[in-house]
Each structure stands twice: as C-alpha cells, then as structure tokens.
Amino acid sequence: MREAATRLFRAVSLDEYDDLSRSGRFRPGRGTMEGKWFADSYEGVRLHARAHYPAGDCRIVATDVPDHSLTRLHRPQNLDGFGPATYFDATDLAGVVPILEVGRD
C-alpha cells in the first residue's frame, strides 16, 4: 500500500529551474537561504510567483511529501499573506524530489 503524501509547490527562478533540471534536486543557490519554502497549494504558489516574479520569469515546480514527515517541519498558516507554506531546511531537502512539469505563470 502506498503511503499518503501531500503535494507542495514552489515558484523558482529560471536559473533554479535549470539547476533542478540538471541536478534532479533542490540545492541552495549562491547568496540564498539554505532551505526552501513551498506553498501548500497551487493557488498559494501562484500568489508567491506574482509577488516575487512580477515579470513572470519563473516556473512552478512541485514535490510530493509523505504526510508523516510534515509534522516535524515549520508550517506557518499565512506566509507573506499568501496562505499556508512549508519550510525545508538544507538537511530536509536531501530527500525532496522535484516534479518539474507542473505549470508556469
């Protein structure tokens, strides 16, 4: 039986998208936070994308996270006023597999 999972979404720069495509994993970029924020809904990530990439120069990616692991992560209910989000620090990112073909704004 397959374990229950939740799909989370992230708006990424074109450079981060290219890195995800090449490496197959989320990695800290030069001069950025070591961890990564993910929106808990597609609607939420679209709000983040519009706010952080107003020119539309981004891609939306996703990951499926086992539900049991979500309880130990930092999950504010209204990050930046755009809704619930989940934070993965650098060590948690090691097991996060990107799903690249989600959509774009």
- The domains found in the chain, sorted by start residue, are 5-103 (3.20.170)
pTM: 0.87
DSSP 74: B
Phi-psi region for residue 24, left (φ > 0), alpha (ψ -120 to 50) or beta?
A: left
Picking from 6, 94, 45, 25, the residue whose alpha carbon sits closest to that of residue 37 is: 45
pLDDT tens digit sequence for 18-58: 999 999 999 877 766 678 999 999 999 999 999 999 998 99
